[in-house]
Structure 1
Amino acid sequence: MRWKVVSWIEIIKVVARLSLLKLSGRRMVTGTVVPERLVDPARSRCGRASATEGNADLGGFVTAEAREPEKVAPALSLIRKYGPMGLAGELLFILRPIIYVLSLRKMGKRDWRPWALSLVVELASRQLIRTDLRPASGSERTVEKDELSRRKWLFLYYLLRSPFFDRFTESRLTRVADWCNNKPLLSLLGALIQDYQPLWQQYYFYTAAS
């Protein structure tokens, strides 16, 4: 029952992300916040904001802010459209969680194949996206860079997933926690590790990165 619920949650998330991919016109589905803009791109012309009477100072401030293209550009222009390789990579990234959870249901948490399959899919996704965006690297957008950086950090979760966690990470974390427990201030870190270890092992979404 537990894995059925997890599977349906992942399916709903996949459908939502595929919808976003389609609505955005084959652009990267980001998990980061779009940069805050002080100018409404729909009302600004050529990056200029007109000041009403009595608001000259405000108008000058807004005009200065508008000199940064990403603060006045339409939302869809903050992320480039994918080519075929990038689109394939994005689809792999979106589908990776459901591939992982379905393989877990079939093979079990202690089998290395779900862990390895998920890692291979994610590495392939990253390589395809980077290859697709590389020809236009000179015009790399901040939102794209932030999202790719966020996705890179998600690889750390593989250290906390079984069976890698059971085989390698757990014993090392236990030694670190034991060492920290006898040190002032560091004892807080040791207690934090000990508190989270059961959660990483028992609850799927703590390490799913989905």
Structure 2
Amino acid sequence: MSSLLFSCPDIFHSYKVWVSKNPQSLGDWENSAKWVSYFIAGRINNSHILSELVYCLSNLLVMFNDRIIKKTICQVDSNTTPDKIKLWLTVIEYSEVFCELSASKIWGSAGKWVIVTCIQVFKCIARLFLVYQHKEPIIQNPPIPVLDRRDLKSNNSNYATMGDLAQEQLNSVSFTLKRSGRVVRKVDSAPPLAIRNWKPLLKAPSFSCGNNQTIEQSLAGRQLIAETIYISKPLVHLLSMACFGTETWKPWMIGLALDLTSLQLYRSCRSKSINSLTPLQRLQLSRRTVILVLYLLRSPIYERYSKDKIDGFLKALSKIPLAGLICTPLAQYLPFWQSTYFYMWST
């Protein structure tokens, strides 16, 4: 037993080396683990909890491997307070459904709602802390996105080559002071006096590999109000369900109204060119707009209007050759997925 414990660091080091050398092929194994979660759903006892556990662990494995790749290949190792908060938020995003199902199985409906409320209170406080205290821009879902591993090594080598060329070009016309680190232009490399701009030289730009998710522009004014509304929506929705019940239209309408208000505030800022959004911020808003379609799968509109139409559509598609292999299981498990995933607090 002691020998196994002593060998654990060596095994972990070997695993990190293998992950850093095979970032592309690693994705095949991770996707296989996710497909296992779909395959075992409904085929054994407590399969929904087991399926969600496998899916949760597969997502956590992807996040863990991404951190290894960022640290070894991209040379990125962030240990700041915002990064730690985002890490915990991402872990909760991946595991909250499993925690909800487990609590419902062990403690019943009361335990389920206690766990859901605790999770959403923590998420709301943590996100507001990121936005107000650390001036974070629009919070992504999940807060730490999956790393794009396509051509990771080639991109990394290209960035390194670009950085080396820029540094070499800078060194040919300047030198750096040892104490202050200031870049000073050489006398023989100065341009003619007529076209000289007298501005100091800048250091060579640095390049990084992987997903560049950094957005320097923080939220202010209407954008800050819009993001606060979006972050507070899960708690407001849970409170409305506690007040009006889970089968009424009021929680559904309140959640939709908050989403539309948040998006409209962002659009009004963009139309008036007030703190214009960056491309990544606009991408997040586009995703939030598309997610509005999920309101068709949320109670009570699903039971009263959408369910029959979706079932009829899936039955029509199942008559097409090979399409039935996908549509028939989807129609069977859609009621369970609707009752488990399609809530306001999951977005």
Bucket of the pairwise TM-score, normalised by the shorter protein: 0.7 to 0.9
Moved more, 186-195 or 96-105: 186-195
**Aligned match of 1:75:** 214
In structure 1, the gaps of 5 or more residues are 53-62
Instruction: Report the alpha carbon displacement of residue 206 of structure 1 after superposing the two structures with TM.
Output: 3.8
Residues 147 and 182 (structure 1), Cα distance of their counterparts in 2 relative to 1, 3 Å cut: same
Q: 1:29 aligns with which of 139, 152, 172?
A: 139
The 1-side partners of 2:311 and 2:215 are apart by 46
**Aligned match of 2:10:** none
Higher RCO (CA < 8 A, seq sep 6+) = 1
Q: 2:284 aligns with which of 140, 147, 171?
A: 147
Task: Quote the sequence identity (%).
Answer: 24
The 2-side partners of 1:138 and 1:126 are apart by 15
The 2-side partners of 1:201 and 1:29 are apart by 25
**Maintained 8 Å contact 1:89/1:129:** yes
Letter in 1 for 2:270: L
Q: How many residues align?
A: 186
**Maintained 8 Å contact 1:173/1:193:** no
**Aligned match of 1:124:** 261
- 1:12-53 deviation per Cα after TM superposition (whole angstroms, max 9, x unaligned): 11112112212442522223749979669xxx8xxx84259x
What value does the CA root-mean-square deviation take over the aligned residues? 3.4
**Aligned match of 2:87:** none
Instruction: Report the alpha carbon displacement of residue 139 of structure 1 after superposing the two structures with TM.
Output: 5.8
**Aligned match of 1:172:** 309
Is 2:128 aligned against 1:18? yes
**Aligned match of 1:60:** none
**Aligned match of 1:3:** 113
The 1-side partners of 2:311 and 2:319 are apart by 13
Residues 31 and 128 (structure 1), Cα distance of their counterparts in 2 relative to 1, 3 Å cut: same
**Aligned match of 2:167:** 50
Is 2:202 aligned against 1:92? no
Letter in 2 for 1:8: C
Instruction: Report the alpha carbon displacement of residue 97 of structure 1 after superposing the two structures with TM.
Output: 1.1
TM-score, normalised via structure 1 length:
0.74
Mapping 1:97-108, distance limit 5 Å: 97-108=234-245
**Maintained 8 Å contact 2:298/2:342:** no
The 2-side partners of 1:91 and 1:118 are apart by 14
The 1-side partners of 2:289 and 2:139 are apart by 15
- 1:74-122 deviation per Cα after TM superposition (whole angstroms, max 9, x unaligned): 9342xx3323211111000000111112212332221000000000011
TM-score, normalised via structure 2 length:
0.47
Residues 34 and 132 (structure 1), Cα distance of their counterparts in 2 relative to 1, 3 Å cut: farther
The 2-side partners of 1:159 and 1:192 are apart by 20
